[in-house]
Structure 1
Amino acid sequence: MVKLIRGLIDSGALKKDVGEALLAQAQTEHIAAQQALRQAAAPVASAQPKVEPGDVRVPYVSQAVRDKIRDEVKGQIMAQARSEGWAAPNETPEWTKRIRVEGDVRLRNESRFYSDSNDNLGMVDWAAINNGNAYDINPNSNTVLPPQLNTRQDRKNQWKARARLGVIADITEQTSAGVRLATGNDDSPVSTTQTLGGGLEKKSVWLDQAWFSHQPADWLKITGGRFGNPFYSTDILFSNDLNFDGLAAQFNRKLSNERVSLFGTIGVIPLEYSSDKFPGNKGDKMSSETKWLLGAQVGANWKLDQTNSFRGAAAYYEFKNVAGKLSDPCYLYSGQDTACSTDWTRPAFMQRGNTLMLLRNIALNPLDPASTAQPQYLGLASKFRLLDLNARWETRIMNGYPLRLDANYIRNLDYDADEMFARANGGIVNNFDGSGGTDRSAFRSGGNAYMLQATFGKPAPSEKGEWNMMASYKYIEADSMPDGYNDSSFHLGGTNARGYTLGTTYAFDKNTTLSGRWMSSKEVHGQPYAIDLLQLELNTRF
């Protein structure tokens, strides 16, 4: 107000004497107001109660001040909690965001039906011989038959279960690691199915996966350890349960138009190492031998339009050092040898179908050659170098329902029946025409395999109400691939099999399905061996 009055006087809008009178009045009112304030405050101070001995004075803190102090303390505590990762409102610690758990549980009812026309003699369980003690093939020293496969007795309503539990950690944006456990009757690489029953005994759990991966670029990933199948393939070659040991590099990159992407894989897979202790009864041990799978694959995904897409891939797989070898002369009868030099060449795991050869060149006792025991192991007669061609076409028909068509062709480039007989030196033991002959003219095998499959509906139902129906046909000649790694259900695993599969799947809840499959198969060559398999399954995953 004082400044205003002085401004009016200076501008001439207010006469000087009138302005000075107004200034005097304003100053008087200001002094009176200050005195009134001091008088109003004096009674408050004098009204304070007298302090008695033992009294505690508590200063009054306004609500606004208390709120400010609370917010400041809370802010400091929460900042520390977030930086140390031990607490935050509506949050879990940071490290838990980089860990995820996944798994699945399956309950299966399985029935196996064998044809009455199956050959009931001579269906030897070669895998059992290789997994146990060698079998003496000399009828003069051994009158017991080798272990035999079941060929005619049905097995109905067998209940089986599978459970898998995995933990995956994202160490950084480029590096991950994972561990998975799974059930299984044994250490078979192609099945994690556990047969129930057994007197309600506890069931086994195995290390199914343990891997480490690094992604140096967004189009390249390198994985090492024990990991899932890195190749695009079907179960005619590699079982869906099969995991790989070793090292694999995968790439996937879109082209400039983004309708075509290229992918590929290179894998170095050790299949088996020779024992450091072989032979056990000698100081000089054998040199190191390793069986390998070397694989390379390249392919492309092509999105033709909104409803059609195509995927094609070509792969080359070389199984090194897996073929059997005839041993050096082996003097078992004298006790000089307890094992023969090529025992290590027998497969660590086999199913059935491949042509097999005797591995041991057993020296006969010159004092009693006719009665010399000849305990034998079996090895693969063929080498394996595979060309694998895959194709898939996906489209929509009948008001938008998905349809998927798959084709797979495999050729063993190393298949050579004459070379197999030469390597075995006459020791081929299976895959003959049934005439009783065991020479080259009676031998029946082949190096080709193929599969055709159609899937109508959602390929992998996961949401409630989704479904599919599928039909497939497989043809697998005896030496088209190693018999140890493909689907263990079709023809009960292995090669030398042909037949069809019909199946359907329905999701009755989220990630929970009911499915059924009927598989009918028989041999391609050799002794009659036909099997029908019915599988009803309840699956859920999380």
Structure 2
Amino acid sequence: MIFPVNRLTLAVGMVIATLVGQAAAAPVAPSENVTINLIRLLVQQGVLTQDTANGLIAQAEKEAQQARQANAAPVVAAGPTAAPGDVRVQYVPQAVRDQIRDQVKAEVMATAKQENWAQPNTFPDWVSRVTFDGDIRLRDESRYFSGRNDNTITDYAKLNSSGPYDVNNASNFKYPPLLNTREDRENLFRLRARLGMKAVLSPEWTAGIRLGTGSDNNPVSTTQTLGGGFGKKDIWLDQGYLSWKASDAVTLTGGRIGNPFYSTDMMYSNDLNFDGVAALFNHTLNSEWGVFGTLGAFPVEYTADSASSNGLDKDSSETKWLFGGQVGADWKINRSNKLKLAAAYYQFQDIEGERSSPCSTWQGDPGCDTDGTRVAFMQKGNTVFRLRNNTANPATPTTTPDPQFVGLASKFNVLDLNAVWDSELPSDFKLRTQGNFIHNLAYDKSEMLKRSEGEIANNINSNGQLESGGNALMVSFTLGTALEMRKRGDWNVLAGYKYIQPDALPDGFNDSSFHLGGTNAKGYFIGANYGIEKNIYASARWLSASEVYGQPFEVDVMQLELNTRF
């Protein structure tokens, strides 16, 4: 809004500028009353102080007197009779006119910029360097379990978080934490809401923060299950990073960042963020070829000093790392076909479990020396073994409690190969064909048995033998008018298949919907997407999966979604 005072001040300035222009164009002096009244009005509006006005009038009178003496001819006033209190000025010199003009202009422009009416709809500089984005997803999810499923499958993730659990059936008659494998869960109403802010600190530096929902702090999902007596929901720090553009082709990013690698959700969940630093390289060679690459180092976990805070002896702290590197290429074959290829190597350092030295928990030991080798987060599927080498009480050897945690039996050095082929078909259809192959180069069944000292806890067949593997495969096809939903009327349909052996990759970081997360899973998925409006689209998916080895566990998941982004 422009206040009346500002409008009046601006009008006065425009009148003065007009008079100055007229004075420069004609030799005749302007009307004295108009000039004096303008000066008075400027004083009343606070543009000029009274002392400044008196000085201008005095200077004008002096120079007018000098002008009369130089011309030796009287100047006849052309205007109405002066009112009492008016000061008659017969001539306003150019210097005075310029001073009045410049001062009025400075005052008016300062006020206009401060009140934001000289340049409407403009804001301070920092506002233009900050942008916001976000998304909201509403999901209705149902889970349908097979009646043939084994209902005694241990939830090892919960066992580690709530344990240790006594595995001696002679001293403990309670079941360990168990997965739900038979009771259907229908119409789970779920929400994902994320809000991000990005600030351009300089042409080379960028800072970003994103907040997100989530039922807990697990790394693979920001989905919040609604209900719970209408209780308030948690907000988590989903991302927080600094990014430096070292050159046109290289960017360095550190903090809690989005996935810097090109991958599918069979390896990393779409909601997964990485804690650490990454260097991203992207360079266009010509109109047909481009190359890209990523190097990253990410601390997965810092081991605790001890399994218990009341222990007198503390173990040295160790860091479990993920080191990753990827190279890839984009090839524009022709106007209708594009191919993307990528090869990545991920070394998960020290995330495998380690069997403890003899430990006498029955004598009151607060923990064992390898309790910290259990992973901070897991879903299910990886082969695990009992970490503690608990000794028995000689007096009651058969009924001595055997409290246990579990650790990963395999090491993980993962080779991840990806290929995506996008084609444009007749009638404006688009087809995406995608393949992903994963192989754990560190998978070694004999080493797993040696590391566990025979204490493998899962993935055991009916003969008591370990069944596992280090490979995973995914293929998928997407067909429609658009591969990404951007506008009203866009649509596509998709179908695919996954086969994930138990120890092909760590089970804690991949998609949490297919087989309800983790590895040791095989099955298909189908879906469809439709654009309702710009940045608003509906989705439907059906995922059907069962176990590869071990205890029977089959589950179908249906998801109906409304997705928005802004």
2:506 aligned residue (462, 482, 487): 482
Pairing of 1:137-536 with structure 2 (within 5 A): 137-255=167-285, 257-276=286-305, 280-335=309-364, 337-433=365-461, 435=462, 437-438=463-464, 442-457=465-480, 458-536=482-560
Q: Distance in 1 between matches of 2:97 and 2:525?
A: 76
Q: Distance in 1 between matches of 2:520 and 2:321?
A: 23
After TM superposition, give the deviation of residue 322 of structure 1 in Å. Answer: 0.6
1:95 aligned residue (112, 115, 126): 126
Instruction: Mark the CA change 1:505 to 1:61 in structure 2 (over 3 Å): closer, same or farther.
Output: farther
Q: Distance in 2 between matches of 1:139 and 1:315?
A: 45
Per-residue CA shift, 1:57-87, capped at 9, x if unaligned?
A: 487999x999995686345764798799998
Structure 2, unmatched stretches of 5+, are 1-70
After TM superposition, give the deviation of residue 411 of structure 1 in Å. Answer: 0.2
1:370 is paired with a residue whose SS is coil
1:265 is paired with a residue whose SS is strand
Q: Distance in 2 between matches of 1:516 and 1:490?
A: 14
2:427 is paired with a residue whose SS is coil
Instruction: Mark the CA change 1:43 to 1:207 in structure 2 (over 3 Å): closer, same or farther.
Output: closer
Structure 2 match to 1:23 = none
Instruction: Mark the CA change 1:333 to 1:302 in structure 2 (over 3 Å): closer, same or farther.
Output: same
> 1:318–1:385: 8 Å Cα contact kept in structure 2?
yes
Which amino acid in the other structure matches residue 475 of structure 1? Answer: Y
Instruction: Mark the CA change 1:56 to 1:361 in structure 2 (over 3 Å): closer, same or farther.
Output: same
After TM superposition, give the deviation of residue 159 of structure 1 in Å. Answer: 0.3
Q: Distance in 1 between matches of 2:294 and 2:111?
A: 46
> 1:115–1:529: 8 Å Cα contact kept in structure 2?
yes
Instruction: Mark the CA change 1:81 to 1:131 in structure 2 (over 3 Å): closer, same or farther.
Output: farther
The answer to whether residue 145 in structure 2 is matched with residue 114 in structure 1 is yes
Q: Distance in 2 between matches of 1:379 and 1:508?
A: 47
Q: Distance in 2 between matches of 1:119 and 1:450?
A: 26
Instruction: Mark the CA change 1:89 to 1:418 in structure 2 (over 3 Å): closer, same or farther.
Output: same
Alignment RMSD: 2.7
Which amino acid in the other structure matches residue 289 of structure 1? Answer: E
After TM superposition, give the deviation of residue 282 of structure 1 in Å. Answer: 3.6
User: Which protein has the larger Cα radius of gyration, Structure 1 or Structure 2?
Assistant: 1
Q: TM-score, normalised by structure 2?
A: 0.82
Per-residue CA shift, 1:101-131, capped at 9, x if unaligned?
A: 11000100001111112122x2111111001
After TM superposition, give the deviation of residue 278 of structure 1 in Å. Answer: 5.4
1:173 is paired with a residue whose SS is coil
After TM superposition, give the deviation of residue 90 of structure 1 in Å. Answer: 3.4
Q: Distance in 2 between matches of 1:406 and 1:326?
A: 40
Q: How many residues are treated as equivalent by the alignment?
A: 493
Q: Distance in 2 between matches of 1:61 and 1:499?
A: 97
Q: Distance in 2 between matches of 1:83 and 1:246?
A: 43
2:363 is paired with a residue whose SS is coil
After TM superposition, give the deviation of residue 267 of structure 1 in Å. Answer: 0.7
Per-residue CA shift, 1:174-220, capped at 9, x if unaligned?
A: 10011111000000100000000000000001111010110110100
The answer to whether residue 158 in structure 2 is matched with residue 128 in structure 1 is yes
> Percent of aligned positions with the same letter in both sequences?
51
2:159 is paired with a residue whose SS is helix
What stretches of structure 1 move > 3 A for 4+ residues in a row? 37-45, 55-62, 64-90, 276-279, 281-284
> 2:75–2:90: 8 Å Cα contact kept in structure 1?
no
Q: Distance in 1 between matches of 2:527 and 2:550?
A: 28
1:423 is paired with a residue whose SS is helix
> 2:307–2:371: 8 Å Cα contact kept in structure 1?
no
Which amino acid in the other structure matches residue 315 of structure 2? Answer: M
1:333 is paired with a residue whose SS is helix
Structure 1 match to 2:6 = none
1:410 is paired with a residue whose SS is strand
1:422 is paired with a residue whose SS is helix
Structure 1, unmatched stretches of 5+, are 1-36
After TM superposition, give the deviation of residue 254 of structure 1 in Å. Answer: 1.2
> 1:86–1:93: 8 Å Cα contact kept in structure 2?
no
After TM superposition, give the deviation of residue 38 of structure 1 in Å. Answer: 11
> 1:491–1:521: 8 Å Cα contact kept in structure 2?
yes
Structure 2 match to 1:34 = none
Q: Distance in 2 between matches of 1:86 and 1:236?
A: 55
After TM superposition, give the deviation of residue 133 of structure 1 in Å. Answer: 2.2
Per-residue CA shift, 1:475-515, capped at 9, x if unaligned?
A: 10000000000000000000000111111111111101111
Instruction: Mark the CA change 1:76 to 1:252 in structure 2 (over 3 Å): closer, same or farther.
Output: farther
> 2:498–2:523: 8 Å Cα contact kept in structure 1?
yes
Greater CA drift, 352-361 or 258-267: 258-267
After TM superposition, give the deviation of residue 325 of structure 1 in Å. Answer: 0.5
Which amino acid in the other structure matches residue 160 of structure 2? Answer: N
> 1:345–1:379: 8 Å Cα contact kept in structure 2?
yes
After TM superposition, give the deviation of residue 153 of structure 1 in Å. Answer: 1.0
> 1:78–1:88: 8 Å Cα contact kept in structure 2?
no
> 2:295–2:326: 8 Å Cα contact kept in structure 1?
yes
Q: TM-score, normalised by structure 1?
A: 0.86
Q: Distance in 2 between matches of 1:399 and 1:503?
A: 22
Q: Distance in 2 between matches of 1:529 and 1:67?
A: 90
Per-residue CA shift, 1:427-450, capped at 9, x if unaligned?
A: 0011012x2x43xxx221110001
Q: Distance in 1 between matches of 2:87 and 2:76?
A: 20
Q: Distance in 1 between matches of 2:296 and 2:113?
A: 42
Q: Distance in 2 between matches of 1:456 and 1:61?
A: 84
